[in-house]
Amino acid sequence: MFYILFYKIVSLLQIKLINLKKYRMKKMYFYFKIVVAVAISLTVLTSSASAQLYINEFMASNDGAFPGPQGDNPDWIEIYNAGAEAVMLGGYYLSDKLDDPEAMYQIPSTYPDSVTVEPGGFILFYANDDTAWSVLNTNFKLSGGGENVGLWNSSMEVVDQITYEEQTTDVSYGRYPDGTDDWFFMTNYTPGAANQSPAPADVVLFINEFMASNDFAFPGPQGDHPDWIEIYNAGMEAVMLGGYYLSDKLDEPESMYQIPSTYPDSVTVGPGEFILFYANDDTAWSVLNTNFKLSGGGEHVGLWSPEQVFLDSITYGPQIADTSYGRYQDGTDNWYMMADYTPGASNTNPNVGPADVMLYINEFMASNDFAYPGPQGDHPDWIEIYNAGDEAVMLGGYYLSDKLDVPEDMYQIPSTYPDSVTVEAGGFIVFYANDDTAWSVLNTNFKLSGGGEHVGLWSPEQVLLDSITYGPQIADTSYGRFPDGSQFWYMMPDFTPGEANRYVDAVNELEMNASLKQNYPNPFSSFTNIEFNLNEPDHITITVYTISGSIVSVLADQHYNTGNHSIQWSASELPSGYYLYSIQTSTGTDIKKASIIR
């Protein structure tokens, strides 16, 4: 089109020159300049119109994945030129705000070669808010929590833009194939190069809970009381289950029920979420109804991928009416009868003991170095049981164990001395987990692991009453419920074996080789300082925990000399809330509490 227009202009000019020969050459030169100007203008417009540029890949949460030229780990944005000619991006605009022109970052044209992207090529911009470093650094950063990225030409016309959701640390988000409309999370990120086929996210699906004898417990959407099967997605991405298979027969592929994909949204289960299928042999009702029912007398349930690759199954025995059978915790290998059934939600602790018996594992210490001496003169691990009921309970015949799924290993509390193993209403009893049952009826046949494991309590019929799965513990610190019998667990430097638990904020300084000071500032947002004083040289470990006892980070693990010391704790990536930090020396442990606010 441009060449036709150019030809017409030149032809007109030739006619005018023939008819106006008397005009001087200066006049001819004037017309020639007009033609050249128009040609150049049209060339520029054509190049701008034909530029095929895409925001092709970016990383908005770069902790350690890709180092930038400044030695940091900046957010970055990759532009892909899908056109047939090189494009000099000087004068173009980049921004994380789509509706604020004055905030747009205009790419400098100071060094044209540095901001030129070749045909079929890629160019990388570092979104670290440091434009003084180079022409490839922007005046903004990207948000890992989700926002926008836009590209505009020099006339501020939109070239490309993307609005994205929360990102995964050290994982990019990009198009595949390059320049297409299909976006994927990319663990195999490729800044400045063609994107590679993104590996599909691992699908981690579990049959998590079901009810095979639903008489009156849970009404279905059809007004009946159908058997039901709950699927739990333990993966990182949503899974559309259309095309997957469910069946109560593990060895008959031809009888498997294929979940329809007619309504994808209805059969999609989000990450960490649950979806319910009704096993009432009525597929005409909805895409969530199967072509089979479950047997209350015992059978199988299986789940397969669209390729009929086996994903999960459970073979179960006779069921109790109006009681589900489920995993606790979700997705684990531990199955329990659940009177407190939770279709479509996270399973709860299956406390299915007698109604008048309300017993809880209330507090325990799994790393007792010096804190609490036992009756044998040692420092045993210990477990406290709390009776929240209205009557005393004689625990002879009950079971304790650190293995939730090995009944033969359970320790049965002796009833030889009933008074010694009776816990009064509202009272507490302590068992010593030191693997020495010969000493007394309060000593178990197992020890607890300070590195994390389980503790369970069962009735004489081996019905689970309570259990706790815990992580690494702090030496000489208990882990307990506050208030007693509640669902809230805390690290407790002020341990109370055989008594009501105290508020966890009451942290006392221990008599030891070190004194730990309260962090400052506190509360804080991103950074705080932790100071401690050593009376003698010692090896020091300073660890940060969540309030539930999970390790967040180890701030120090080395030898320190006598005197005052200070370390900085960077918590910019942590959510708001309360945290514990501890100092461990050769003589003991001290703990304090910190608060992060945003």
Of the candidates 507, 501, 474, the residue with the CA atom closest to the CA atom of residue 369: 474
Tokens 């002796």 correspond to 414
Q: Do 115 and 126 share a structural domain?
A: yes
Q: Do 374 and 444 share a structural domain?
A: yes
* pLDDT tens by residue, 340-397: 899 999 998 664 344 457 899 999 999 998 889 988 889 999 999 999 888 888 898 8
> With a threshold of 0.75, does the pTM exceed it?
no
What integer best gives the mean pLDDT of the chain?
A: 85
Q: Do 130 and 81 share a structural domain?
A: yes
Q: Do 98 and 152 share a structural domain?
A: yes
CA distance 449 to 367: 7
Whether 509 maps to a domain, the answer reads no
Instruction: Report the 3 state secondary structure along 423-448.
Output: ECCCCEEEEEEECCCCCCCCECCCEC
Q: Do 65 and 46 share a structural domain?
A: no
261 alpha-carbon distance from chain centroid: 28
β-partners of residue 245 are 258, 304
CA distance 346 to 374: 39
Q: Do 217 and 169 share a structural domain?
A: no
Q: What CATH code is carried by the domain that includes residue 573?
A: 2.60.40.2550
* Ordered DSSP codes for 173-226: EEESSTTSS-EEEESS--TTSPPPPPPPPPP-EEEEEEES--SSS---TTSS--
pLDDT at residue 504 in the model: 57
* pLDDT tens by residue, 105-120: 999 999 999 999 999 9
pLDDT at 237 over 90: no
Residue 44 CB neighbours (<10 A)? 11
pLDDT at residue 522 in the model: 83
Tokens 């350690």 correspond to 64
Report the pLDDT averaged over residues 37-52. 45
Report the pLDDT averaged over residues 241-262. 93
Residue 98 pLDDT level (bands cut at 50, 70, 90): very high
Whether 34 maps to a domain, the answer reads yes
Report the pLDDT averaged over residues 473-489. 87
- The arrangement of strands across the sheet holding 300-304 comes to 257-258, 245-247, 300-304, 310-315
Whether 500 maps to a domain, the answer reads no
Q: Do 366 and 487 share a structural domain?
A: yes
Q: Do 221 and 177 share a structural domain?
A: no
Query: Among 153, 186, 219, where does a domain finish?
Result: 186
Whether 141 maps to a domain, the answer reads yes
> In the structure encoding, which two tokens stand for residue 173, read together?
């988000």
Our count of domains for the chain comes to 5
Q: Do 124 and 60 share a structural domain?
A: yes
* Ordered DSSP codes for 282-312: -TTT-TTB-S-B--TT--EEEEE-TT--EEE
Q: What CATH code is carried by the domain that includes residue 411?
A: 2.60.40
* Ordered DSSP codes for 57-84: EEES--SSSS--TTSS--EEEEEEE-SS
Whether 267 maps to a domain, the answer reads yes
Residue 595 pLDDT level (bands cut at 50, 70, 90): confident
β-partners of residue 594 are 579
Q: Do 66 and 46 share a structural domain?
A: no
Q: Do 331 and 384 share a structural domain?
A: no
CA distance 199 to 183: 13
Whether 331 maps to a domain, the answer reads yes
Whether 194 maps to a domain, the answer reads no
470 Cβ partners below 8 Å, 6+ apart? 366, 452, 453, 454, 455, 479, 489, 549
Q: Give the domain extent around 585.
A: 514-596
Q: Do 110 and 98 share a structural domain?
A: yes
Whether 198 maps to a domain, the answer reads no
* pLDDT tens by residue, 15-25: 444 444 444 44
pLDDT at residue 177 in the model: 92
CB crowding 387-409: b at 16 or more within 10 Å, else e: bebeeebebbebbbbbebeeeee
